[in-house]
Amino acid sequence: MGVTGLFLVMFVAVHLTINLFLIFDDNGVLFNSAAYFMSTNRVVKIIEPLLGLGFFIHIMWSFFIEYKNYKARPVAYNKRISGETSSWASRNMLIIGLLVLVFLVIHLINFFWVIKFNHEALQKVNIGGIEMEDSYTLIANLFKSSIAYDILYILAGILLGLHLSHGF
């Protein structure tokens, strides 16, 4: 669990770093350049399927651990002083993880799928003489047009933070 979790934490750090370019650059040059680099880099193309495998193993292993813990004590304790012995996040890792997974599916549908497989939906932009897809506009338009997505992403960030705070 720790090995796959650490691998996924590294991915989140890289993903967050690139997404921060959305904040610092209103015209999308930095973000589109970073997105283009990530989509054309050979190392990233090798790591991408490993990332999917890492998520799969992490999720399956969490169910195994939860089942193993349940089998170790199928009868509940008579008295439970939860706050003194463990954090709320640690007691609810499976639920938080499942909510993060739901968000991840939504995130993949909104961005990864469109950027990776629906190239016609993206405008083209020329940066430094290189024509690339305008991922910045896709992302900016979604967040500018929907307060629901803004709230969803804020809640998902909080849930991911809780999940990582226990896991890390």
pLDDT at 147 over 80: yes
Average pLDDT over residues 40-60: 93
- Please give the model's pTM, rounded to 2 decimal places: 0.81
Q: What local confidence, expressed as pLDDT, does residue 78 receive?
A: 65
Residue 115: pLDDT band with limits 50, 70, 90: confident
The pLDDT tens digits for 1-23 are 889 999 999 999 999 999 999 98
Q: Which two tokens stand for residue 9?
A: 């934490």
Out of 2-11, 41-50, 83-92, 158-167, least confident range: 83-92
Average pLDDT over residues 65-70: 87
pLDDT at 65 over 70: yes
Per domain, the residue ranges of the chain are: 2-167
Task: Supply the mean pLDDT for the chain.
Answer: 88
Instruction: Of 61, 73, 74, 71, give the one whose Cα is nearest residue 8.
Output: 61
Question: What phi and psi values does residue 126 have, to the nearest 5 degrees?
Answer: -110, 120
Burial class (CB in 10 A: 0-12, 13-18, 19+), 96: buried
pLDDT at 75 over 80: no
Return d(Cα 6, Cα 54) in angstroms, integer: 10
**Percent of the chain, pLDDT > 90?**
57
- Which residue type occupies 4? T
